[in-house]
Amino acid sequence: MGDFKLKTAKDFTVPEQLRMNTERKKAQLVALEEEIHERKLKMNVRIVALRDEKVQLISQLGQRMEQLFAVQAQLTPDRCCQCPTLPTLQPEEIPERRLQYTSSTLQYFAALRAQWNQRGATEGGPDEPSLLDLMQEDSDDPIQPSPAPPSNPAPPGPKPYELTELEEEMKEMQEIRFLYQQDDLLSQVGAVCVCAGVRACVYG
């Protein structure tokens, strides 16, 4: 079996293959950094995939809500159901948009910089927000807000007249059809939201 000495023994020496030196420690650090980078990359891929699914979800819900508003425009206010609130994209979910700019963004930046220069950067203390911080605060608004239901004012028309029995039946049939479409669209919106929540729980 050989002579196995305890580490507490006075004559114990660490074998050459187990001794730690600078080269081995550097190799361990490099391996750890590579593993950290790989795990971060995998996590970022999953987060971006969830974000893309949310963007697609918002687009689908927006189409459903437009159809729902068109149906509710044909109904009386007392027959319209309350519309659900659609999810929105927060600025932290799309950090790449911070690098995107338009002509209006540049004009706003020029105006803000002119105000900053007039006030004087030396007047502010160390806790004074910078010019970029002010622009970031103004741009921290939810993206793609939920569409508001259109107002349904009664258009001016001819004076109402008494409907015939056939016209009354056709009107009731149309109202029943619109109510069914409203319920169907609301159920579709709810099903999409539930499906998206399940996916977020599974892949999150």
Tens digits of per-residue pLDDT, 77-111? Answer: 888 888 888 888 888 888 877 777 788 888 888 88
Does 155 map to a domain?
A: no
User: For position 88, what pLDDT does the model report?
Assistant: 83
Residue for token pair 């189409």: 63
**Shared domain check, 75 and 28:** yes
- The more confident residue out of 2 and 52 is 52
Domain region containing 110: 97-141
CA distances from 141 to 85, 111, 116, 137 (A): 17, 20, 22, 8
- Both 26 and 59 in a single domain? yes
pLDDT of the residue at 147 = 54
User: Could you report the per-residue pLDDT of 110-132, keeping only the tens digit for each?
Assistant: 888 888 777 765 555 555 666 66
- Check residues 121 and 136 and name the one with the higher pLDDT: 136
- Together in a domain, 74 and 114: no
What tokens were used for 138?
Answer: 């103004």
pLDDT band at 23 (very low <50, low <70, confident <90, very high): confident
Q: Are residues 83 and 67 in the same domain?
A: yes
Structure-block tokens of residue 131 = 């010019």
DSSP 125-157: -TTS--HHHHHHHHH-S-BSPPPPPPP------
What tokens appear for 108 in the block?
A: 């706003």
The predicted pLDDT at position 112 comes to 80
Span 145-161, average pLDDT: 54
Same domain for 103 and 80, yes or no, is no
Residue 171 lies in a domain: yes
Predicted local confidence at residue 30, as pLDDT? 96
Q: Please calculate the CA angle 143-149-154 and round it to the nearest 5 degrees.
A: 155
Q: Are residues 131 and 82 in the same domain?
A: no
83 and 171 share one domain: yes
**pLDDT over 80 at 183, yes or no:** yes
Confirm whether 5 is domain-assigned. no
Stretch 173-188: mean pLDDT: 89
Q: Between residues 33 and 95, which one has the greater pLDDT?
A: 33
The whole-chain average pLDDT of the chain stands at: 77
For the segment 56-67, the average pLDDT, to the nearest whole number, is 88
Of residues 39 and 200, which shows the higher confidence score? 39
Structural domain tally of the chain?
A: 2
- Whole-number pLDDT of residue 125: 55
CA gyration radius for the chain? 32
The predicted pLDDT at position 3 comes to: 65
Task: Give the pLDDT band (50/70/90) at residue 43.
Answer: very high
Residues 83 and 108 occupy one common structural domain:
no
Q: By C-alpha distance, which of 47, 49, 69, 60 is closest to 87?
A: 60
Q: What's the CA dihedral at 58, 197, 85, 73 to 10 degrees?
A: 70
**Same domain assignment for residues 129 and 30:** no
